[in-house]
Amino acid sequence: MEILIISGLSGAGKSKAASYLEDMGFYIVDNMPAAMILKFAEFCAGGNGRYDRVALVYDVRTASSFTELFDVLDTLRTMEGADCRMLFLEAAPEVIIKRYKETRRRHPLADQTDSLQEAVCREREMMQPVRERADYVIDTSRTSTAQLRGELLQLFGDGVGEKAGMTVSVTSFGYKYGLPLEADLVIDVRFMPNPFYIEELRPQTGLDKAVSDYVFSFQQTKDFLKRLEELLAFTLPLYAEEGKTSLVIAVGCTGGHHRSVAVTHALAEFIAGQGYQVAENHRDMTRGG
C-alpha cells in the first residue's frame, strides 16, 4: 500500500497536485488531522487492494501539533506492507501573495495576523519542521501546471512517464447524426470509397474483416492513415507534455458504420502501440440507416 502525505504552504498548489495525483490513480482525502491518519491507513490496509494508493492532504489548518504528525509518519514507515512518503509544496512569499490577490481567497492564518504578508511569512515559519521531514520538496514559484504535473508523474507515475497521464479516446461517428460535442480533433473520412454501395458489405461494419479490407484496399486510404499516424506521433507527446489528461479524437463518415469504424479501429491500435492508454468507441455503428 502506498501512502503519500501532501503538505506545504497555502497557495503553493496542494489542491492542484492532489487533482493530478487523483488522475494517476491515488485515492485523495483532503484536510485529514494527524490523529486520524493511522486509523485511516489501517482501514485502507484491509480494503482488499481497493485503496492501494492513497494521498492525504495535510496543512496548517489541521495542525494542532507537528509532533503528532511526525509520530504518525514514523509509525507508518514501520508498518508492514506500507510505503509512506511525504511531499511538500512551497512557493516564494511574493508568488503566494500574488496568487491570493488574484483568487481573493482568505489565507488560513488571516484571523491571527494583521496582513496577508504577515500570514504568509508566519505559515512558512510554522511549516518549516514539516518541510524538513519531507521526502520531496517542489517549489511551484515558476512552475506551470503542466510542469507540476510532469514532476508528479516522474516521482509517482510508476516510471511510465507522461504518457500514463493522458487517456486518448478514439470514437467513430456519423455526420448525419451530428458531431461529438466532446471531440478535440475531428477527422473526416468521407472522401474514402464507401462500402455502403457494395451490397454484401452494407449490413456489415468497419469491424468486420471484409469491410476493413475493402476500405484499406485503396492507396489513398493507406496514404491518409500513414500521414495521420505521423501527425499523431508528433502531436500526442506535445499534448501530454502540456498537461492534457484526456484527448478525444473523432473520426466521421456519413453514417458511422463502415469507413469511420475501420479507421478508428486502426488508429486505436496505432496509439496503443505508442504507449498511451486508449479507449475505442463507435457511437453510431449500431444505429439504423
Q: Which domains does the chain have, with CATH numbers?
A: 2-159 (3.40.50.300), 164-282 (no CATH)
How many Cα atoms occupy the beta-carbon half-sphere of 252 within 13 Å?
A: 16
The pTM score is 0.65
Cell of 97: 501573495
Q: Is the pLDDT of residue 163 over 70?
A: no
More confident residue, 163 or 84: 84
Nearest 10 degrees: Cα torsion 147, 158, 82, 89: 0
Coil, helix or strand at residue 100:
helix
The β-bridge partners of 249 are 170, 185
Quick one: pLDDT at residue 58?
A: 87
Coil, helix or strand at residue 187:
strand
pLDDT band at residue 63 under the 50/70/90 scheme: low
Q: What is the pLDDT of residues 199-251, one digit of tens each?
A: 999 999 999 999 999 999 999 999 999 999 999 999 998 888 777 878 999 99
Quick one: pLDDT at residue 64?
A: 63
Cell 488574484 belongs to residue: 102
The β-bridge partners of 3 are 54, 84
Q: Is the pLDDT of residue 56 over 70?
A: yes
